[in-house]
């Protein structure tokens, strides 16, 4: 039986819905279990690990619990399949590294990906809400058997940034974050309790009931039931059908006019001149980008091999979501010159973070501190942290340092595995600094703040 929904947003559960719970339990859980001990001892100082350890100690009511005790607790929670936020956080860190290294590849039921692509192409906005951490979700979608699926998903939510999945308030929080109408939201899950909570928040719901899944015998209550995504038909707000055989192809032709690219080029030239004047873009080094379109992704990127202090509005190239030169109006490449290979990393950062602009500069402080602290640079209790949206007191944040590579796919994997969500920047060892923001102005401000923090560390002489 086919169920039809007139909605704008579809929010996906993962285990038991898009993917087999048996794969997660049989493949990913043992992978994490073997690596928890090393994570807890070798990376204990990292903010995300430290925060998770603190949460575990509180849950155990054992403030002095050591790494061995915490590892035993994690193992017990795995055996129970307990949906504990700190467990999911640490699993996410381990899994992200496993996916990035190629040791892990995710699983999707065969009926899922064709439907996701159809809905996305028809203008339906897709999101993920899972008990697994956001880092784990991104790694899962980024390393599927069919390649990187993250461009299909808009937002990722977990029990930390949205709340528990059995509570209606969590779904209300997601609605508010998306700026959507509750009745235009559809939640797909195999758990009746989650479906009940979503419906209480005003969402539409459909239960995905697959043989062999843990909740199969429980059924889906009084929610519409499907055995596969093939039984779902989505109609967007304008009445367009998002089902097999009736979906408009995703646009791959001109989406940005040449005049718009030149206007972006003028803004990029002005920003580049500012950074060149600071000595952060010596010779022809560095590059800047700004997002001009999201679907399909298009960025204006400063042209390669140009003196960044003397750019004009024409020294810019329109690139696609992989960083390759894209066709502009009338089928010609908008802008002059060619994009740097690093445009691929700019596009990767945008896809990963949702940023609107990316700045890449070659500063002495970034290279120097990358050598001194190859494991990352931690800043704490500094007034300047307010410039990154963080408290000036009682907080610590880590600026990741990743090894350089001339392969942008490899470099992108390293950035994704090491990224600290609260830090909009990363140091590439022996190379320079990448910083991003919602727009060019915020990206510039973030670059100035991070550079100040790096200069302070250099001046302090701490190695």
51/73 Cα distance (integer angstroms): 16
The H-assigned helical ranges of 165-254 are: 168-178, 192-200
- Averaged pLDDT for residues 328-335: 39
User: Cα separations (Å) of 77 from 136, 190, 390?
Assistant: 17, 21, 32
Tell me which CATH code domain 3-16+107-242 carries.
3.40.50.1000
Instruction: Read off the pLDDT of residues 279-310 as tens digits, 9 standing for 90 and up.
Output: 999 988 999 999 988 878 889 999 988 888 88
Q: Are 218 and 195 in contact (CB under 8 A)?
A: no
User: Cα separations (Å) of 436 from 180, 356, 448?
Assistant: 26, 8, 11
Answer yes or no: same fold for 3-16+107-242 and 22-101. no
Kindly give the pairing relationship between strand 425-428 and strand 432-437. Answer: antiparallel
Report the pLDDT value the prediction gives residue 294, as an integer from 0 to 100. 80
283/307 Cα distance (integer angstroms): 6
Report the pLDDT value the prediction gives residue 463, as an integer from 0 to 100. 55
Helix, strand, coil percentages in the chain from 3-state DSSP, rounded to 5: 40, 20, 40
Q: Are 3 and 231 in contact (CB under 8 A)?
A: yes
Instruction: Read off the pLDDT of residues 83-104 as tens digits, 9 standing for 90 and up.
Output: 888 998 898 888 888 887 788 8
**What is the rounded (10 degree) CA torsion for 207, 213, 216, 222?**
-10
Whether 32 shows a pLDDT value over 80: the answer reads yes
Secondary-structure class of domain 258-460 per CATH? alpha beta
Whether 329 shows a pLDDT value over 50: the answer reads no
Helix (H) or strand (E) holding 426: strand 425-428
Q: Are 363 and 432 in contact (CB under 8 A)?
A: yes
Instruction: Read off the pLDDT of residues 176-214 as tens digits, 9 standing for 90 and up.
Output: 988 889 999 999 999 999 999 999 999 999 999 999 999
Q: Tokens 């700026």 sit at which residue?
A: 179
Could you tell me the pTM of the whole model? Answer: 0.52
Other C-beta atoms within 10 Å of 371: how many? 12
Report the pLDDT value the prediction gives residue 92, as an integer from 0 to 100. 83
Take residue 209 and report the two structure tokens written for it. 């009931």
Other C-beta atoms within 10 Å of 86: how many? 24
**What crossing angle do the helices spanning 29-42 and 85-101 adopt, rounded to 10°?**
100
SS3 call for 374: coil
Contacts (Cβ under 8 Å, ≥6 apart) of 52: 86, 89, 90
Take residue 306 and report the two structure tokens written for it. 């140009």
Domain ranges of the chain: 3-16+107-242, 22-101, 258-460
- Averaged pLDDT for residues 400-412: 89
Report the pLDDT value the prediction gives residue 320, as an integer from 0 to 100. 86
Take residue 225 and report the two structure tokens written for it. 């039931």
Other C-beta atoms within 10 Å of 393: how many? 9
Whether 438 shows a pLDDT value over 90: the answer reads no
Report the pLDDT value the prediction gives residue 182, as an integer from 0 to 100. 94
**b/e sequence 422-454, b meaning 16+ C-beta within 10 Å:** ebbbbbbbebbbbbbbeebebbbebbbbbbebb
Domain 22-101 = CATH 3.40.50: no
User: Cα separations (Å) of 350 from 73, 154, 322, 347?
Assistant: 37, 12, 10, 5
Whether 385 shows a pLDDT value over 70: the answer reads yes
Band (pLDDT 50/70/90 cuts) for residue 314 is confident
Whether 251 shows a pLDDT value over 60: the answer reads no
Q: Are 126 and 10 in contact (CB under 8 A)?
A: yes
340/403 Cα distance (integer angstroms): 19
Q: Which residues pair with 156 in a beta bridge?
A: 128
Take residue 149 and report the two structure tokens written for it. 């699926």
Instruction: Read off the pLDDT of residues 255-284 as tens digits, 9 standing for 90 and up.
Output: 567 778 888 889 999 999 999 999 999 988
185/428 Cα distance (integer angstroms): 40
SS3 call for 317: strand
Report the pLDDT value the prediction gives residue 248, as an integer from 0 to 100. 28
Other C-beta atoms within 10 Å of 421: how many? 12
Instruction: Read off the pLDDT of residues 344-374 as tens digits, 9 standing for 90 and up.
Output: 999 999 988 888 999 999 999 999 999 999 9
297/144 Cα distance (integer angstroms): 20
């Amino acid at each position: 039986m086919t169920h039809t929904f007139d909605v704008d947003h579809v929010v996906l559960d993962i285990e038991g819905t898009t993917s087999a719970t048996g794969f997660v339990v049989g493949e990913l859980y043992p992978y994490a279990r073997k690596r928890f001990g090393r994570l807890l001892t070798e990376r204990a100082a990292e903010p995300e690990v430290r925060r998770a350890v603190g949460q575990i100690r509180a849950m155990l009511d054992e403030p002095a619990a050591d790494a061995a005790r915490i590892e035993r607790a994690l193992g017990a929670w795995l055996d129970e399949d307990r949906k504990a936020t700190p467990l999911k956080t640490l699993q996410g860190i381990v899994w992200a590294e496993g996916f990035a290294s190629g040791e892990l590849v995710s699983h999707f039921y065969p009926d899922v990906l064709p439907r996701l692509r159809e809905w996305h192409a028809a203008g339906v906005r897709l999101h993920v809400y899972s008990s697994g951490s956001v880092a784990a979700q991104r790694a899962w979608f980024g390393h599927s058997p069919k390649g990187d699926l993250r461009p299909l998903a808009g937002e990722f939510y977990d029990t930390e940034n949205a709340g528990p999945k059995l509570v209606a308030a969590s779904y209300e929080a997601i609605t508010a974050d998306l700026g959507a109408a509750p009745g235009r939201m559809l939640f797909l899950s195999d758990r009746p309790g989650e479906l009940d909570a979503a419906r209480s928040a005003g969402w539409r719901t459909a239960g995905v009931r697959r043989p062999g899944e843990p909740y199969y015998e429980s059924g889906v209550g009084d929610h519409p039931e499907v055995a596969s995504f093939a039984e779902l038909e989505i109609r967007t707000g304008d009445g367009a059908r998002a089902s097999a055989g009736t979906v408009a192809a995703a646009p791959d032709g001109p989406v940005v006019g040449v005049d718009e690219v030149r206007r972006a080029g003028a803004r990029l030239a002005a920003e580049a001149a500012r950074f060149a004047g600071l000595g952060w873009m010596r010779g022809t080094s560095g590059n800047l980008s700004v997002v001009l379109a999201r679907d399909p992704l298009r960025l204006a990127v400063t042209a390669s091999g140009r003196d960044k202090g003397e750019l004009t509005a024409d020294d810019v190239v329109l690139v696609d979501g992989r960083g390759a030169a894209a066709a502009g109006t009338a089928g010609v490449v908008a802008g002059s010159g060619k994009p740097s290979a690093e445009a691929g990393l700019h596009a990767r950062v945008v896809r990963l973070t949702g940023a609107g602009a990316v700045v890449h500069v070659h500063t002495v402080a970034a290279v120097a501190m990358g050598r001194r602290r190859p494991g990352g640079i931690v800043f704490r209790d500094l007034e300047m942290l307010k410039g990154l949206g963080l408290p000036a007191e009682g907080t610590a944040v880590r600026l990741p340092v990743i090894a350089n590579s001339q392969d942008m796919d490899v470099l992108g994997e390293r950035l994704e595995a090491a990224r600290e969500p609260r830090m909009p920047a990363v140091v590439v060892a022996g190379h320079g600094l990448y910083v991003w923001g919602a727009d060019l102005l915020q990206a510039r401000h973030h670059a100035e703040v991070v550079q100040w923090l790096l200069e302070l560390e250099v001046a302090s002489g701490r190695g």
